[in-house]
Structure 1
């Protein structure tokens, strides 16, 4: 969260009952009418919801069920939990050395300020990028779960008034070669029938490269997907940075000719100019991106200059729930749409539910990974399922995920 904006807003909320000397100093330097580049998601009144302090006794990274779970425990023993993504095993030193000191012993009701501190203090901002924000975001998300458990409310109810209790999904497919194209397409068709979903997302190019073989596969795959699924099916395509600007334009026009609705990251996510040129050259397809980004300034610039039509911050990479809601507001001020990145069908979907309930500019179908024949996990509930092409957002406390107490008995402590 932008520091000046956070502190300026914080001092204006009477229920938080304090005035920051740092904010006063900022106002003296910048003037009381200092411009702020970002809109803000309204800060929650946590002191009204929780009149007594919620001191964070411990933050642990535990391994169980083949996953890493981050557990925030309050002094009274109440817990907030999030599953961590696949990046966390390589980020444990950042988590332990830079992030946790800004949360341990602190009042969880000050969560927005704790996030700001973990970015700004002790020169942590010098590590800015996905690794730092992913570490901060994992703690933020687990702490929201704690606050939701304590209030017996869904996290979204602490952050605003929900505008939806369900959303439509598309089925992701990760095929990029290695099996017959026809078999892949038939599998997609079977998944649509099983879930009732109206759309799919397919991979095009070769992921950060586009060899002649990759190109041949794309040109065989896309027409067969359209022919097999029919004209009514919604198709999204993900380039994962496979194409140069020229190739991205060519690939985009090819996708347009088959009625593909969204083209995600055709060029390297770092190539703003190239991506903008692709977007300007295409007339029938929406360009999407933002999964790799974690700078609010970059999201503002990308949306203001028309790099993408649809913005896809990752809930964890981008620093958590509140920052992701802020991205939704940043891109909305420029008339752009929003669809956070969340490809998993496991507890990682929990924070997405909270954002999806609130964001006014949530667009299109949302991502879902469906593996037919896979038994629902027994170590958490509810089962993550789609019915009639829609996902219901739970109205249960915290992130909406409850864990079997038995999983902690043999858990390995990582941090």
Structure 2
């Protein structure tokens, strides 16, 4: 068993390497000058005085979704909904990740996350699949700690700087219906929510045929004309363009007052994305959803690839690593708008980051489906009012689940 002094030494060392969001504890050596900045984590063992030993981590299917449940020895639970990637990642979750959490004290969560990445050569699997599995367990474990402490997760991680945020409404249209109908639908969603912005798709998603280009050049002017100059427009390329096409499309978007151009080129093409950013003067370039390396985020920010960084709460390894990304890019004067475009319990970890990140920028994405009945299997009802989303001030991640959903749940792991 590792004693507390050895644990603190290890935690400090891993923080210096940027592998965990934990800050060095008082009385330990400080991180070296060239270390990645870390999120200053309060002492969880003062906030939660008694051990929270994780008895089990289960992956359950209910309500046509996968839910990951972390249960403590005393029966307390932490829960997160899993994203759509998880069904294809269960072998990684079971074989590489869960052994580093079961039987351990959840109050050591930063170290457990580092262990799940580093030990047993797990780092050789590094990338979205591994970090998505680790992040899902981390998020559920934060919910557990919040439930035990009877505090929102954000209150365990620092002092919140906001209680709400403005949203934009996203639409996934890339052909298949008249563009006028799509714009009318967007206008209806804006009226129903009070949102002040929209995000539209441009290009063809990792490709850009002549037909895709014609649709983009027809659709953008129509959106601006029908929605008016007061509405903020974001455009998502999803890696559709070559650098030359990205520059041309970016200038076209600028001419219609589009505020943000997301992932114009392949996310792997750093130099191409940088060229696009350098050629554009009126529009912000955004990206980072696909990334899960803290060192890559630092390089992207330092070399000016993007203006706005969008780590995904799950792909990037959880809440603490996402807060660390906000610190990393913030040192270079950059801002964040983490990727969580959901209107179900997947939004809950984003609430905690949004409450804390000082460099959260602009409107945040929200998927609104008019006519959809409020879900009965969890609360609260996730809705936007007057263009803003309130961040719940309730224990854990802010979601409470109906106990009836567990009766017929299928155990996946």
TM class by shorter-chain length? over 0.9
On the 8 A contact 2:22/2:39 being kept in 1, the answer is no
Aligned match of 1:13: 25
Cα deviation code 1:272-315 (max 9, x no counterpart): 00000000000000000000000000000000000000000000
Structure 1 Cα separation of the partners of residues 232 and 341 of structure 2 = 17
Question: Is the CA contact (8 Å cut-off) linking 2:167 and 2:363 kept in structure 1?
Answer: yes
Partner of residue 243, structure 2: 245
Tell me the residue number matched to 1:313. Answer: 311
Distance in 2 (alpha carbons) for counterparts of 1:88 and 1:264: 25
1:3 equivalent among 9, 14, 21: 14
Alignment of 1:8-407 (within 5 A): 12-14=24-26, 34-407=32-405
How far the C-alpha of 1:49 sits from its partner, in A, is 1.0
Quick one: distance in 2 between partners of 1:50 and 1:156? Answer: 14
Question: How far does residue 8 in structure 1 lie from its aligned partner after superposition?
Answer: 10
Contact residue 166 and residue 388 of structure 2 kept, 8 A: yes
Distance 1:218 1:271 in 2: 22
| Helix, strand or coil at the partner of 1:124 | helix
Distance in 1 separating the partners of 2:373 and 2:136: 27
Supply the RMSD in Å over aligned alpha carbons.
Answer: 1.6
* TM-score between both structures, scaled by the size of structure 2: 0.95
> Cα deviation per residue 1:204-239 (whole Å; 9 max; x = unaligned)?
000000000100000000000000000111000000
Contact residue 69 and residue 79 of structure 2 kept, 8 A: yes
Q: Report the Cα offset of residue 11 of structure 1.
A: 8.7
TM-fit CA distance, 1:50: 1.1
Count of matched residue positions in the alignment of Structure 1 and Structure 2: 401
Query: For residues 7 and 135 of structure 1, do their structure 2 counterparts lie closer, same or farther at Cα, with a shift above 3 Å needed?
Result: closer
Any stretches of 5+ residues in structure 2 without a counterpart?
1-10
In structure 2, the CA distance between the partners of 1:124 and 1:352, relative to structure 1 (3 Å rule), is same
Aligned pair in 2 of structure 1 residues 12, 306: CA closer, same or farther (>3 Å)?
A: closer
| Deviation string, structure 1 residues 329-371 (Cα, Å, up to 9, x no partner) | 0000000010000111000000000000000000000000000
Alignment check: 8 A CA contact 2:22 2:38 kept: no
Calculate the TM-score normalised by the size of structure 1: 0.94
Residues 160-200 of structure 1, C-alpha deviations (whole Å, 9 max, x = no match): 00010000000000000111110000000010000000000
Deviation at 1:9, TM superposition (A): 9.1
